[in-house]
Structure 1
Amino acid sequence: MTIAVTGATGHLGRLVIDALIARGAAPGEIVAAVRDTAKATDLAARGVTVREADYDRPQTLAAAFAGVDRLLLISGNAVGQRIAQHTAVIGAAKAAGVGFLAYTSILRADSSPIGLAPEHLATEEAIKASGIPFALLRNGWYIENYTGALGAALEHGVLLGSAGQGRIAAATRADFAEAAAAVLLSGETGVYELAGDQPFTMAELAAEVARQTGVPVEYRDLPAADYQAALVTAGLPEAFAGLLADTDVKIRDGHLDDAGGTLSRLLGRPTTPPAEAVAAALKN
């Protein structure tokens, strides 16, 4: 059985390949489908097959998926372009005879008011229309969205946001990657709502950072417009900053909280505790 992973040189893609191998897949049975093969030399050195697969160059996709039995489509990061990109991948997968397609979507994509959800939902609908047996991996928030920026929080003594007391059922990329590997290896179709076992508020996250470092860090809740302005000042494009600020408002309203426990059931263990994720980030 051949399993292909798109976006395989990204943070999540590399972790999925690690998890597949850890769960018993032979490297030679894994295809790393990547935009730039020069960035995948380490994967090739491990025995993984590397093939070019550029979402924006559909002509690369047919060869990338040739002989592939199961495919993981990791959603692209070009917000506003992803429907066309993903549709090209789905069409190429169908033409190549791929027998199972998993996709990394967003938590409750069919009802979420988060601005990122519509592109994910459109992709899900395209997958269903393709007739390929599928699994929708509706990932919640990555805790790295926060722990990746702890340096600034420690420097200024503050975490900014507009999430209020909303709870975030985040999990680590490694947890989501391991779940994806489990589904790829099982081939079990379905819709998986995936989230961490220990939801937290932003104030609780700030308190945990302060506890572990001994540096006073507080959460400062801002109106969405002020938070967007702060993100723009930090260097983010205005449109993307607005999307993030709006997501925080939706977090306040509970749209990234979840108590289903599906992720931990797929893993066969509890999800990584937030405190452990913070500790890991502080070591880096």
Structure 2
Amino acid sequence: MSLLYVSLSPSRHEYMNSINTTFDTPVLELKGSIMTVIVLHLKATDAGRLYPQLEQKIGKAQAFFRNAPVLIDLSDLGEAEQLALDFTELASTLRGMGVVPVGVRGSARSQNERILHAGLGLLPAVKAERSVAATESQPSTIQDTTQEAEEAKLVANAPQQTSSAIPTKVITQPVRSGQQVFAPEGDLVILSSVNAGAELLAAGNIHVYGALRGRAMAGINGDATARIFSLQCNPELVAIAGEYLVNESLAPSCINQCVLVSLGSKGLQFDVTGSFTPAP
């Protein structure tokens, strides 16, 4: 059979060329992307405390967390504490709560095999967290120590107007359900409404000069001084520097009011600054 097949082809070289041409039109692409992922920071591994608190936290907003990807962060746990954690049980429990655990970061090398056995991916620990002061004068790109030292000297002698160059993203159209608007370096200003199912993310502040009914996450790089301003506040979720609150937990006095959201020592603070009625 193979002899008959070869005899039908003019040459082996020509046959190989015919095979290679099938790859001229790719059927897939691999790309990096910035996406919103809920990060579960574990502070302890005692199952008697961990799982009841998980149930309480996720149970408060089941509609929001349903089918949401979750990244498990072990950066605050030592190797002995990680060893006491049953990753298979944790992943199974999270799936039972309606979320989708996708991976683990900050793990000790000795735990990697157990994590993979539980069907979870491995991500590197965060190498650097941007402090509040750093967000005002330094770029977010992680650089080697030598380069950082050299640039620190330049920054010290540079004019103090570099921070003003951080761009502000301005959107003039309504942000509709399913849309995501991302301001990776500065503030985000929406000169219209944000519908339920839409998502706003910004390294700095978020201003919504209309109704906020979707999700708004400010200070996504850890800037605890970030603020969220809304003329008509009724969001699905608001978050600042990782601290979040869902709609079900909002005080009735804040609903559909002009609200300033900030991060205080006890969590998110909501200050009602007035009321707003959209023009007909």
- The alignment's TM-score, normalised by the length of structure 2, stands at 0.30
The structure carrying a bigger helix percent of its residues is 1
Q: Higher relative contact order at CA 8 Å, sep ≥6: structure 1 or structure 2?
A: 1
Which structure: larger Rg? Answer: 2
- The alignment's TM-score, normalised by the length of structure 1, stands at 0.29
